[in-house]
Amino acid sequence: MKKIAIFLIFILVFSFSSCGTVKDKVAEKVEKKIEEKVNEEVSKVEKELEKAEEELDKVKESANEEVKEDEKEASDKKDRKGKKDEKEGEEPNFKEKANKSMELALEIFEEVKGDLIYDVSSVFPGDFDGDGEDEVVIVTSYITDYDVSLCSNAYLVDLSEKKVIDEIIVDNYAATGPRIVRFEGGEESFLCFIVENGANLTGLLLFSLNDKGFDLAMMGVPSMPPAYITLIDENQDGIYEGIYEDLINEDVFYYPCRIMDYYAQGEFYIEYVDVDMGDYPETPAEVVRQYVYALHLRDTRFDDVAEVFGLDERLAELVTKEALTTEIYFANDLLVNTAMQIEPKLVFEEKVYDDTSAQVYITIKGDYTDEASARTSENFGFGMTLVKEDGKWKINAGYSLY
């Protein structure tokens, strides 16, 4: 019995001992699984935290850029305000300087004007000759019996030398609207006057300004109306590119002409010319008349122009491709007289033989002597033969009558 009891006790002890070992192993596995799970969760959290930090960095970077942009805008506003304040601060100084220049110029002018009865109408200060010192242009005017203000004289006053260095008279041109102008491509300043006659005529007088005084740069004064010469300011910046000439008078034989003159290197040059020759002439005499006028315009007035739109095309159309025309020349005054229908003038007499051929004789009516050849109107003239092509009369040949 005692042995049995001892055996039972041994079994119980062994059982408890075995149970402890299993428990420890189970606990160890559980602990390992927990540790793996924790590590997995920690890794996951770390990745999410890293991603969140990246997003935060982007937000911070964007915020910094917005701050920089705001700072830049604020800085720009400050700069603009500073420049505006600076400009506003300089403007009174500029005006004050100009006013002082004008006051001094008027004092100098009063001392030298003598018995001049015309009133001062315009005063223009500026460094016109580029020497760093101001000069002043003074323009005098008077009121006509028709209550129109016309310019009479212009004076250039040198403030450093305190004297009037030059004077010009513009009374003969019915000049108005004096102003100082500049042109693209040049640093020169010009005194500009508008010239009008009240009857469809407008021109320009331009005088360059230098250290010696005034120089006539352009006298764009048409001889006869209607004619209009105006300044070109294509981009409206106050600096002119050149001048427009719109003419339709006997000087251009009443063909509407538009001429564009640009300014470059101290002079004006023709950039563009367009002549409206109208409908094609119907009779042989009209064909020859237009040919004589067009040829004269091309060889004299527009001889240095590469292409004259309208005129070149018509000249080529008035003659046949096989045309053999003689060298013809008529003085400008004779052609102008012809356009105005006063003697001495050219007479165009036509003789039509049939529907396809004709002859035109050019003679002179009135007392006239050609200076180049010394021939008089009695022995001066030309003949032109014409043929009809495509329904139009065209010059085929020319010859002298004497």
Highest mean pLDDT among 2-6, 80-84, 121-125: 121-125
Q: What is the pLDDT of residue 119?
A: 86
Q: Tens of pLDDT along 246-298? A: 999 988 999 999 999 998 877 888 999 999 999 999 999 999 999 999 999 99
pLDDT more than 90, % of the chain? 47
Q: Tens of pLDDT along 50-74? A: 776 676 666 556 655 554 555 555 5
Lowest-pLDDT range of 34-43, 210-219, 284-293, 358-367: 34-43
SS3 of residue 232 by DSSP: strand
Residue 367: is its pLDDT beyond 60? yes
What is the CATH code of the structural domain delimited by 284-400? Answer: 3.10.450
Q: What is the pLDDT of residue 31?
A: 56
> Contacts from 99-106 at CB under 8 Å and sequence distance 24+?
101/125, 101/134, 101/136, 101/159, 102/136, 104/136, 104/159, 104/162, 105/136, 105/138, 105/157, 105/159, 106/138
Q: What is the pLDDT of residue 78?
A: 47
Q: What is the pLDDT of residue 150?
A: 94
Q: What is the pLDDT of residue 53?
A: 67
CA distance 290 to 333: 16
Q: How confident is the model at residue 15 (pLDDT cuts 50, 70, 90)?
A: very low
Q: What is the pLDDT of residue 294?
A: 96
Q: What is the pLDDT of residue 346?
A: 96
Kindly report the CA angle at 302 between 296 and 308, in degrees rounded to 5? 105
Q: How confident is the model at residue 45 (pLDDT cuts 50, 70, 90)?
A: low
Q: What is the pLDDT of residue 172?
A: 85
Q: Give which of 397, 385, 401, 378 is closest to 350, Cα–Cα.
A: 385
Q: How confident is the model at residue 131 (pLDDT cuts 50, 70, 90)?
A: confident
Q: Tens of pLDDT along 306-335? A: 999 999 999 999 999 888 777 788 899 999
Amino acid at 191: L
SS3 of residue 373 by DSSP: coil
Q: How confident is the model at residue 19 (pLDDT cuts 50, 70, 90)?
A: very low
Residue 138: is its pLDDT beyond 80? yes
Q: What is the pLDDT of residue 268?
A: 84
Q: Which residue, chain included where needed, has tokens 């770390």?
A: 46
DSSP, res 173: G
For the segment 356-367, the average pLDDT, to the nearest whole number, is 96
CA distance 137 to 154: 7
CA distance 137 to 164: 10
For the segment 131-160, the average pLDDT, to the nearest whole number, is 90
Residue spans per domain, the chain = 117-275, 284-400
In Å, how far from its chain's centre is CA 92?
32
Q: Tens of pLDDT along 152-208? A: 999 999 888 888 889 999 988 889 999 999 999 888 899 999 998 767 889 999 999
Sign for the CA dihedral angle at 253, 255, 258, 264 comes to: negative
What is the strand order of the sheet 149-158 is part of?
119-126, 135-143, 149-158, 163-169
Q: What is the pLDDT of residue 17?
A: 44
Highest mean pLDDT among 2-6, 89-93, 143-147, 307-311: 307-311
Q: What is the mean pLDDT of the chain?
A: 81
